[in-house]
Every structure is written in structure tokens, then in C-alpha cells.
Amino acid sequence: MNLTYFFFCILLTFQVVGQPVYTLNDSTSVSTDQYEILPDRGYTFDQILANPSLPFSAEDSLRLAEIPVYWLRVKVNNPYGYARSYDVRVEPLMDNTLYNFDYNAGKWVGYRAGILTESKYNRRIQGIMPCVLQAKMVNTLYVRVEVSSLRKFGYVLKRKIQFNRKNSVLGKEENLRIAWMVAITVLFLFFLNNVYIYFSFRDKTVLYYLIAQLGGIIYITSYRHFFSLIFYCPVFTFWIKPSGWLDYYDLNYLLMHIGILGIMYGLVQFTRSFFDTKRTLPVLNTVLKRGLIVYVSITTVIILINSMVFYLEHYTRSFENLFALFLILIILSTCVAGYLRKLPAAGSFLLANMLPLVFMVGTTLFHVLVGVNDSDNTFLPDMAIIAQSLGFSIALVARTRLIQSDLKVKEMQARQLEFDLRELTLAQRLTEMENQKINAEILVEKSRNELLHHNLEANRRELASTTLYIVQKNKMLADLKKQIHESNQQFPDNKHQGLDGVKAILNSNLYLDSDWAKFKLHFEQVHPRFFEDLYVKHPSLTKNEIRIYAYFHMKLATKEIASLLNIDPASVRRAKTRLYKKMALPEDE
């Protein structure tokens, strides 16, 4: 091993002569453009080491359209008395491999990293490669740069190699990790608490809060690229600027867009539901609703294009953030309008969301003016997410109290309705009992009417029978009288006093009041109060006229009435005419 190290030092000294060397200083982050470049001709790293005569040149430009692979040789002098660990970043971060000599292992080691390769060196930011620069000597580093995927851009790039002190990087990473863990812990605790509240009240406002919280968890994790520590995040599309800066769209940025969509959707819907803007603030409700639809639609299209077609983020980033800023300002206007309208809990909502909205505006402006790539240099997103969780929770507490108050009022109303329902039930039962009583009375009355109807029919039959009997009796007496009359005519000389007596008896029997009394009795059973009413209306009627009118009322034929009265039909018609005239009635009545 010592012999190998001796020959390596001799070879390294030979290579160092006449070549640019960069000397380190105490800065935590330094960069150099002092490197040599060699277009690749299918070399392996062993060939690079074994052939010191390879034409490395001081030309430090990468011609993307001409050469797909380059070798860079960098000489770094560490003048300090101890070895220093650095993270090396070589743009463009496509597919780079860093080779440096590991003095502990006594061999060259290589680290491969870039957006197009899955690195074993697990870091948040892709393309970072570690190295150790030995003390008080010139360290030689080799970097294989794969740029074949950038040939379509055709740029000539002149880049710098950046060295970041490992202890400084680890300290910064630890600060970012702590900030992320604090934000995630706060979000997760509030999320769990409000999951319980949602299942207790089933309030849509709480559901929208949960969506915003879930979006915040996804956003803050992807914003810091912590998903790269959990799993490999493939790159979908990329873009390199003429300055050599590489922009790319990977799974982290996709999840960040999804998280922002969740935040904006939850925030807008939370505001609309909290104030019931559809009823209370219809104009602002329309602006919020349509603005959210436009924002979600355009952002979804941008996500699909960035993920499947080509990199579009450098054109659309400002639009997305400005539109999000527009929605935030409309939400703030809605809060103010709700407060001025004195809507329930509007004051609590406005105060609780002033600070979160300020941080969200600051984050949006930072993205527009500075960019997402400098996300490690600001804690605005963390502060905005935490403030949003606290503010929304305060607003939800006010809303929960309002809901509880409404529930108490509704509970009292429900009790009153229950009491009213009981009263209605009792009234209904009383009505049913009264109906049952009425039905029973109706049945009794029906039975009584049936009995009366039965008696009426019996009286009618009796009246008809009595009338028929009188008619037959009068007819028989009339016939007998006729026969006696004929016998007297046939034997005028043999008149007998006995026959004249019989004839007188027959004449008297034809008009017996007992027959009329019997007839009148049955008639009044069929036609109650007939004779009383007739006497009242026509007091001048004689007894014989009343009898004739009763026969007419029964609708008896003229011959039948003539038989009853023992007169001829012509006399009946004349009597009818005189009677109706006296009563002032028409003949046909």
C-alpha cells in the first residue's frame, strides 16, 4: 500500500506541474472554474489514470450539441492541517460521476449522482456527490459528465464546480429537518384533532380544513424535497437555461403542485362554507368559486404538460403564484366583508387568518421574485403552514361554539316540536274518539231510520189495504143498492117497507165516519202533520174537500176517488176544479 501511495504521489506531482490549481479558503461554500476538460472517446476511468498524456485542455466549455460525454479534471489545494469533507455539485446535474482518492482505503472511489440516475448517496437534492480533500496537498478530482440528453438544446456552457463544506451542509440540513418536523408535527396534531371534530359534527367546513391540512403536509414535505429521502423521485421533464442552470420537474414538484392545489381548494371552500357565502355574500362567492375552478383547471393542465410532454414550469410559475395570490386576496376581502356584515364568527375568522394570509402572500411573492430553487433559504412556507393551522383552528373553535349554540337552539326547538307533536297526537286521539262516537250515533240513527222506513212501508201497505177495502166495500154497497133499485122498478106494486129500510142503511154506510177515521189514521202515519199543515194553510176547507184533497195527494185515479165517495167520476173532476181554484193551485199540481 505504501508503495502504491508513493508512486501515486509522484504521478500526481508530475500531473500538477503546469496545471491550474484552486486553493481552498475558510468559506463554507466555494466554487471554481479552474478545471481541465477532455471530450470522451469511450475512455474508462482506469484509462484516464493510466494515460497522463490525454489531451486535457483549459477550455472549460461544454458543447452540448457536439460531445455527449466530458471528463473534467479539477485540482484543489487544501492548505490546512486537517482533511476536509465537501459536497460537490457539478452543473448540469444530469448524470455525473465523481472520482477521488480515498487515502483510508488506498484506492480511487466513485460516486454517481444526477437527476437521471438513482444515487446511492441519499440526499434531498439530487446531483450532490461527496469527497474528502486531504490536508496540505493538492487533491486531484475527476468528474465524468454525461450530457447526451441535453444535445437538443445546443448550448455552449461554461460552468463552475461548487464545493460545500460538509459540516455546514449537515448543520443546514439539520435545521431544515427540525423545521420540517416541527411543521409536520403541528399539522398532524391539528389534523388528528379536527378529524375527531369532523366525525362528531359532520361539518363540511371542518372537512375543507382537513383537505387544506393534508395539502399543507404534502406541500411542506415536497417543498423541502424530503420525499427524496423516503423514495426515489424520478424526473419527468427538464430544461436547461443558456446560463447552464438546470430546471427539472420530478415527483417532488408534482407532489408540491398537488399539495398547493389541496391548500388552495381547502382554503377557498373553507371560507365559502364558513361564511355561507352563497347566501350571505353571493358576489364574492361567485368570484371565489369561478376563480378556484380556473385555478384548479389551469394548474391541472400545467401538471399534465410538465409530467408528460415538456418542461413548462419556467413559463407558468409566475402565473400560478400570482393567481394563488389573487385567490388569497379575494379570501381576505371575503373576511373583511363578512366582518363588516357582522356575520357569525366573522371577527374571529378575520383575526385568526390575518397572520397566515400574510405569510402565504409572502411565500407567493418569494416564489415569484426569487424562485422555488432557493427554497432552502427561507422559512416562509413553514411559518405560513403553521400559522394557517393555528389560525384555522382558532376559527374552527369559534365556529364550533357557534354550532354548539345552534345545536342548543335546535334542541330546544326539537323539544318544543316534540311537545307540540304530543298535543297533536292527543288531539288526534280525541278526534278519533269523537268520530267513533259520531259513527256509533250514525249507526243508531241508521237503525232507527231503517225501523222508521220499515214502519212507513208497513203503514203504506196498511193505508193501501184500507183504501182498497173501503173501495171494495163501497162498490159492494153500491151494487147492492143498485140491485134493490132495479128490483123496486121491476115490482113497483110490491114495495116492501123492509127493502126501503135496507136501502136507507146502505146509503148511510156509504159515508160512515168510522171508515174515514181509520183511513185518516193510516194516512197520518205515512204523511205526518199533513192535515194540521193543510188546516193552517187553508182553514176555509170543508171536511169533504179535505178528504178529496187527501185522495188527490195519494195520486189516486178519478174512478178510485169516485168509488170511495160513491159519486160518478164527472162529479170528482168538478170537485177537483172547485177545490184547486179555492186553494189557488194549478190543475196539474
- Burial (Cβ within 10 Å: 0-12, 13-18, ≥19) of residue 429: exposed
Burial 279-296 (b: 16+ CB within 10 A, else e): ebbeebbebbeebbeebe
- Burial (Cβ within 10 Å: 0-12, 13-18, ≥19) of residue 529: exposed
Report the alpha-carbon distance of residue 193 to residue 210 in Å, rounded. Answer: 10
Q: Is the dihedral of CA 374, 387, 262, 218 positive or negative?
A: positive
The residue assigned the cell 369559534 is 398
Count Cα atoms within 13 angstroms, Cβ side, for 239: 12
Report the alpha-carbon distance of residue 203 to residue 177 in Å, rounded. Answer: 34
pLDDT of residue 144: 93
Residue 38: strand pairing partners: 71
Query: Strands 22-23, 69-78: parallel, antiparallel or unpaired by DSSP?
Result: parallel
CATH number of 172-416: 1.20.1070
Please state the domain extents for the chain: 2-169, 172-416, 420-486+505-583
The residue assigned the cell 146509503 is 507
Number of other CB atoms surrounding residue 187 within 10 Å: 23
- Helices 204-223 and 166-201, interaxial angle, to 10°? 170
Report the alpha-carbon distance of residue 28 to residue 30 in Å, rounded. Answer: 7
Closest CA to 284 of 320, 349, 337, 324: 337
pLDDT of residue 378: 65
Residue 37: strand pairing partners: 57, 72
Query: pTM of this prediction?
Result: 0.64
pLDDT of residue 265: 95
Mean pLDDT by runs of 10 across the 589 residues of the chain is 41 48 85 87 90 82 81 91 90 88 90 82 77 92 89 78 85 84 85 83 85 89 85 86 81 92 91 89 94 94 92 84 87 89 81 73 68 60 73 71 74 85 88 88 83 69 63 68 73 57 55 64 76 83 82 79 78 83 73
Q: Is the peptide bond before 52 cis (omega within 30 degrees of 0)?
A: no
Report the alpha-carbon distance of residue 273 to residue 281 in Å, rounded. Answer: 11
- Helices 558-565 and 543-553, interaxial angle, to 10°? 150
Report the alpha-carbon distance of residue 211 to residue 191 in Å, rounded. Answer: 9
Closest CA to 161 of 125, 117, 138, 127: 127
Rounded to a whole number of angstroms, the CA Rg of the chain reads: 60
Name every residue whose Cβ is closer than 8 Å to that of residue 158 and which is 6 or more positions away in sequence: 33, 60, 61, 62, 244
Consecutive H or E run containing 136 = none
CATH number of 2-169: 2.60.40
In the DSSP assignment, the letter for residue 87 is: E
Report the alpha-carbon distance of residue 110 to residue 115 in Å, rounded. Answer: 17
Tens of pLDDT, residues 114-158: 888 877 666 677 788 899 999 999 999 999 998 888 888 877 777
57 and 36 in contact (C-beta within 8 Å)? yes
Report the alpha-carbon distance of residue 10 to residue 6 in Å, rounded. Answer: 6
Number of other CB atoms surrounding residue 454 within 10 Å: 10
